[in-house]
Amino acid sequence: MRIAPLSYAAVLMAGVVSTSAIGQMHEPEGPLVRTDGRFHDVAMQVVLWQMPEAGGDAPFRLPLIVDGPWSLVDPTSLIAEVHAGSALVERKTAEDFKRPDAVGELDVRVPMTTAARAPITVTVQGRFAVWSSALDESVAGTIGWPASWPSDARRFLTSEPLIESSNEAIMQAVEATVGPDPQAWGAPLAVAKRLTQAACAQFQSDGAHLVHGPNQTMRGINVDGALMALQRGGGSEADLVCLVVSVLRAAGIPARPVIGVGSKQSPRRGEFTVWAECFLPEAGWVPIEPDLLRRRGVGTRAITQIWRGFGDCPELDDVVPLCWSFAGDDGGDAYEAWAGWTWARLAPTAPFPLDVETGQFRVGDRVLVTGQANLHSSVQFHTINKGRPKGQIASPWREADPTPITTP
């Protein structure tokens, strides 16, 4: 698939930007910094063969990170299209969407079609500037607990599907690791590292990070959630991310999963990949790569040591952040697998995610058989490396008239 040409017109290159009424500052600060950056052109293509039971009136939605701590999306590059068969039935650009919310997510919402022509193909594409990260722990380790967390971080303290931070078993695991009062145990960075270490050290990976359909087409992310991971003592790398995020939230530290895609420079090129972030006062959102930490034996490392994969993430610019949720809101509109985007549940009474070996299930008056061709959704990513940014890039989303970001 060819990615449409993008505009490279005007440039915003100053390190200081207006933060008027349009959102809050999201860049890291103090001991946490952006390092090497990279531009990626990314197209996400979702192919659908079956109407959901409730019909096709609901929109396709993707809570896209456009103004995040480690990435920016060029507003002039953002395009979302819906095709029925080969016919274009809907096309949206950034001008058609509202501004991103306080944390930097844009609700990419596109009307779907009820046309009988199949397949329905949804494509979302744009140019992403992404950065790696570095954390000065000699400074970050001295930062204490805040009197209250910033408003845009508090959203990431509560329990949600797959992140069961209020579950008693999760809270007991936190208490067993850092005691009944995490704030008395140590500073936020120390608590975050100790809880991450405990989660990674006790976790056995099953190696399966994706769910596939027939012919090994990618459908979504293999994830059962934090509670299941705790009970089993293992699971997928996404389950480990959920567990880390859950114990951090249970300890009172804002944390969130990051669902992204690997670029051509990444071992996960063209595939979903998942990592985590936790919020540190006076620093911002610290990237965490739990599966890397597990593979590097973090269980035997002192928390006073610098860990590659906790704040120090030199290869973070090889992955492109897409969203901070496995399926938006409460996940009730996820189609048939956890994949970041939503439409409507294909079959509300069938097991979710659908297993290719489940058997027959009903969607209204239709009887469908899992594993059958032209049933399961599929997701494809197309990425092109467009070089490295020159200088600092200000967020174009905080200006009255969003402008392009630059390429070399």
Confidence of residue 393 (pLDDT cuts 50, 70, 90): confident
pLDDT given at position 75? 92
**DSSP H or E stretch at residue 198:** helix 188-201
Alpha carbons 181 and 168: distance in angstroms, whole number: 15
Residue-level pLDDT at 335: 94
Cβ-Cβ contacts under 8 Å for 144 (sequence gap 6 or more) = 187, 188, 281
Matching residue, tokens 């399926």? 327
Give pLDDT, residue 22.
33
The arithmetic mean of pLDDT across residues 194-215, rounded, is: 92
User: What is the DSSP code (8-state) at residue 308?
Assistant: B
Count of alpha carbons within 13 Å of 275, Cβ hemisphere only?
26
The predicted-structure confidence for 255-283, as pLDDT tens digits, reads as follows: 999 999 998 677 788 999 999 999 999 99
Residue 193: its pLDDT value, please?
98
CA 196 to CA 343: how far, in whole Å?
33
Scanning 208-349, the segments in alpha helix (DSSP H) are 226-232, 237-250, 290-295
Q: What percent of the chain has pLDDT over 90?
A: 68
Average pLDDT value for the chain: 88
Strands (E), 85-166: 87-93, 105-110, 120-135
Across 89-109, average pLDDT: 92
Residue spans of beta strands (DSSP E) within 169-299:
204-205, 210-212, 218-221, 234-235, 255-262, 272-280, 284-288
Is the confidence at residue 2, as pLDDT, over 50?
no
pLDDT of residue 14: 26
For the chain, first and last CA: distance in Å?
A: 24
| Percentage of the chain lying above the pLDDT 70 cut | 91
Q: How far apart are CA 168 and CA 252, in angstroms?
A: 15
Question: Which residues fall within 8 angstroms of residue 343, CB to CB, at 6 or more apart?
Answer: 48, 52, 56, 58, 59, 60, 61, 112, 333, 335
Encoded tokens for 13: 């290159």
For position 159, what pLDDT does the model report? 96
- Phi then psi for residue 234, to 5 deg, are 175, -170
Please give the pLDDT value at position 23: 35
Residue 301, phi then psi, degrees to nearest 5:
-95, 145
Other Cβ atoms within 10 Å of 23 Cβ, number: 18
**How far is residue 297 from each of residues 169, 211, 244, 245, 260, measured CA to CA in Å?**
25, 27, 16, 19, 24
Mean pLDDT of 383-405: 79
pLDDT band at residue 328 using 50, 70 and 90 as cut-offs: confident
Task: Supply the pLDDT for residue 402.
Answer: 65
Query: Which region, left, alpha or beta, applies to residue 151 given φ > 0 means left and ψ of -120 to 50 means alpha?
Result: alpha
Domains and CATH numbers, the chain: 32-130+329-398 (no CATH), 133-323 (3.10.620.30)
Which of residues 196 and 347 earns the better pLDDT score? 196
Residue 229 to residue 162: CA distance in whole angstroms: 10
More confident residue, 362 or 227: 227
The residue with greater pLDDT, 210 or 8, is 210
267 or 12, which is more confident: 267
